[in-house]
Amino acid sequence: MSIENLSLLELQKYEANIPELSGFISRILTKTYDDFIEVLYKDIDTVIFAKEENPELYQSDKKEDRLTVEIMQQLRRMGYQASHDTKIGGHADIVVRKKEYIWIGEAKIHKDYEYLWQGFQQLNTRYSTGDCNQKDGGLLIYIFVQNTKSVMEKWQEYLSAKNLNNYAYFFCRNRSLAFFSTHIHERSGQLFTVRHMPIILHFSPKDKSAMRAKLEKKKG
């Protein structure tokens, strides 16, 4: 049977082996809220991995908005209804919609853990309602320092010490450096889930050509 005669459901079985589809079928076929969130996180990971391939491009212009807009634009190219700085209880960094479903992401450059906590609180107490159409959110963490694993472990410990109502956490099976946290949302009284996602942007090469270029830059 030729590919032209396959239905969308049949094509989905071969999606991983057909680069041209690039998750397109799965995005179309999402019907439930949970399906929407699962596919969205796979696509966000794809965007993050691509950004991490060239950290040298972000060393001289470490701006949250620039980094976040690039992620939003990539999601739009994938077909998502994504926006930046959207008015939802404030100016949310990334908002993704599908019918009545809404996912909100807050993005922060890792400066210290109190700064990340403020981002978490914006997502939790300002932007999200915690209702059934938006019971998940995300925290995007741009990390320019070394040892992302250590940063994420310390962030989880910091979050645990905040005594959030019914707090729990678990690691992401699709990405070892990411983790999920759950707690009772203040506004809805329901369980709210946040995916904490690092973007590795540390760049400090130690090879000879890199060291030479660094010296020449200092002289210039």
What pLDDT digit, counting tens, does each position of 136-145 carry? 999 999 999 9
Torsion of CA 17, 23, 24, 28, to 10 degrees: 120
The conformation of residue 122, written as its DSSP 8-state character, comes to I
Query: Which band of pLDDT confidence, cut at 50, 70 and 90, is reported for residue 62?
Result: confident
What pLDDT digit, counting tens, does each position of 4-27 carry? 544 555 555 555 555 545 566 677
Whole-number pLDDT of residue 220: 55
Q: What is the pTM of this model?
A: 0.85
The conformation of residue 73, written as its DSSP 8-state character, comes to H
pLDDT (mean) for 178-195 = 97
Alpha-carbon distance of 136 to 175, in angstroms, equals 17
Alpha-carbon distance of 41 to 75, in angstroms, equals 11
pLDDT (mean) for 58-79 = 92
Q: Which of 85, 93, 90 is nearest to 199 (CA)?
A: 93
Half-sphere exposure of 139 (CA within 13 A, CB side): 31
pLDDT (mean) for 72-79 = 92
- In SS3 terms, 168-202 reads as EEEECCCCCCCEEEEEECCCCCCEEEEEEEEEECC
In order of 77, 87, 120, the CA distances from 83 in angstroms are 12, 10, 19
For residue 85, is pLDDT > 80? Answer: yes
